[in-house]
Amino acid sequence: MSDDGVRKPSDFGGDDGPPVEEKPYKIIFEANKCFGAGRCAEVADNWEMDLASGLARARSYYLDEEELEENVRAAEVCPAKKGAGVIHVIDRRTDEEIAPDPRGDGTLSVDW
Q: What's the rounded mean pLDDT across residues 63-69?
A: 98
Q: What's the rounded mean pLDDT across residues 61-90?
A: 96
Calculate the CA 84 to chain-centre distance.
12
DSSP 97: E
Question: How confident is the model over 6-55, as pLDDT tens digits?
Answer: 667 767 666 678 999 999 999 999 999 999 999 999 999 999 999 999 99
Question: For the domain with range 9-99, which CATH number is right: 3.30.70.20, 3.40.630.10, 3.40.50.620, 3.10.180.10?
Answer: 3.30.70.20
Q: Where are the domains of the chain?
A: 9-99
